[in-house]
């Protein structure tokens, strides 16, 4: 018996190495291996950003350690963090199993993604819950923290800083647009009354307000839609950039508020693909820096964990 409360910190996961991309992609595709062409396309994207290093792993490790430190400050000796990844080892189930081996009886689960969708955070929770039930661990979950004041403050500081950088790199070009973005999901989530879109818009509106960005100067767009035949939520950022160019916009600050780390969907989809597309149509594009181990983000996570635990 361990009197500490376990904290299962869940994140997307990334391959261990370029050799591991196929296994990782197969896991994302629920056991269906990618075609050679699909595998090459994804491997090329990783090669373009990392050259053998996968930044999400180090960033997730850093966030888990940062959360442990913050919990230790706020509630000394009470919590112990475990990592559980969606598509790579240690998997979500491995994290729960480790808690059981350590004698943990009660735990809180939190995902390193602020917005709830049944297809994202919901699926992490489902897997953790099933394993915890099997192993007799009582678990509660933080479902979302998209309006936590410290998260909003950390993001708004980044928007303010990003706008200053954009003014310099674009030579004060006008008009400017702030584009809040997040990972697209299949359009069918709309039939499920899913809160994902509403929560993303709420975060965007609050961050815009705190950064003094008026309503006409920001909008929301999707990014990184999956390569499947079904329709995904749009417009995609590449289409949005075309529309903005048609409206005469000259400078864009992208704020990917649905993500919390530097990883493929930011470093490739935004920094390489979107930036290149923007420059071809006369738009200077900058992006806000990601949260990674930002102390305000660590406090957001720690306070959310503590309040989820105390609701029991
Ligand atoms: O840096 C890295 O190695 C990993 C970057 C990465 C993050 C991420 C976050 C989210 N995803 C979400 C939804 C989907 C859905 C599908 C899907 C597919 C991929 C593929 C790669 C990938 N995702 Fe991802 N996602 C990242 C990477 N994602 C690679 C496969 C190739 C491709 O389609 O581009 C479609 C498959 C399915 O049906 O499951 C849906 C959502 C997030 C943000 C929340 C979270 O972090 O969990 C939502 C980071």
Ligand 1 atom 34: the closest Cα is on which residue? 226
For ligand 1, say whether the CB of 28 is within 6 Å of any of its atoms. Answer: yes
Q: How far apart, in Å, are the Cα atoms of 36 and each of 49, 52, 180, 215?
A: 20, 20, 34, 45
132 alpha carbon – ligand 1 mean position (Å): 24
Ligand 1 atom 40: the closest Cα is on which residue? 185
User: Which atom of ligand 1 lies closest to the CA of 15?
Assistant: 3
User: Which atom of ligand 1 lies closest to the CA of 86?
Assistant: 47
For ligand 1, say whether the CB of 233 is within 6 Å of any of its atoms. Answer: no
Reading the chain (312 residues) residue by residue, the pLDDT tens digits are 679 999 999 999 999 999 999 999 999 999 999 999 999 999 999 999 976 578 999 999 999 999 999 999 999 999 999 999 999 999 999 999 999 999 999 999 999 999 999 999 999 999 999 999 999 999 999 999 999 999 999 999 999 999 999 999 999 999 999 999 999 999 999 999 999 999 999 999 999 999 999 999 999 999 999 878 899 999 999 999 999 999 999 999 999 999 999 999 999 999 999 999 999 999 999 999 999 999 999 999 999 999 996 644
13 alpha carbon – ligand 1 mean position (Å): 9
Instruction: Give the DSSP letter string of 207-237.
Output: HHHHTT--GGGEEEEEE---SSSS-BSS-BH
**What pTM does this model have?**
0.96
Radius of gyration, CA atoms only, the chain = 20
Instruction: Give the DSSP letter string of 153-195.
Output: HHHHHHHHHHHHHHHHHTTS-SSEEEEEEEE--BGGGGGGT-S
For ligand 1, say whether the CB of 88 is within 6 Å of any of its atoms. Answer: no
131 alpha carbon – ligand 1 mean position (Å): 23
Token pair of 4, please? 């500490």
């Amino acid at each position: 018996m361990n009197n500490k409360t376990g904290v299962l910190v869940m994140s997307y996961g990334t391959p261990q190495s370029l050799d591991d991309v196929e296994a990782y992609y197969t896991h994302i595709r629920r056991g269906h291996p990618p075609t050679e062409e699909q595998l090459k396309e994804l491997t090329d994207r990783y090669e373009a950003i990392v050259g053998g290093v996968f930044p999400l792993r180090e960033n997730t490790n850093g966030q888990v350690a940062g959360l442990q430190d913050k919990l230790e400050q706020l509630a000394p000796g009470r919590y112990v963090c475990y990592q559980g990844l969606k598509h790579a080892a240690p998997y979500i189930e491995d994290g729960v199993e480790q808690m059981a081996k350590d004698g943990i009886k009660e735990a809180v689960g939190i995902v390193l993604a602020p917005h709830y969708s049944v297809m994202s955070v919901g699926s992490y929770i489902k897997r953790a819950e099933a394993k915890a039930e099997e192993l007799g661990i009582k678990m509660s979950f933080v479902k979302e923290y998209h309006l936590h004041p410290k998260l909003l403050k950390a993001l708004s500081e980044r928007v303010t800083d990003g706008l200053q950088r954009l003014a310099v790199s674009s030579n004060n070009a006008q008009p400017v647009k702030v584009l809040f973005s997040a990972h697209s999901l299949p359009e069918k989530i709309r039939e499920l009354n899913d809160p994902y879109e509403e929560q993303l818009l709420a975060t965007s509106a609050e961050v815009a307000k705190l950064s003094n960005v008026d309503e006409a100067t920001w909008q929301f767009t999707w990014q990184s839609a999956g390569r499947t035949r079904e329709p995904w939520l749009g417009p995609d950022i590449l289409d949005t950039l075309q529309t903005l160019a048609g409206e005469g916009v000259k400078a864009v600050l992208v704020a990917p508020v649905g993500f919390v780390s530097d990883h493929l969907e930011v470093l490739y989809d935004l920094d390489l693909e979107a930036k290149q597309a923007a420059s071809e149509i006369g738009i200077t594009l900058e992006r806000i820096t990601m949260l990674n181990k930002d102390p305000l983000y660590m406090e957001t996570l720690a306070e959310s964990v503590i309040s989820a635990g105390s609701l029991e």
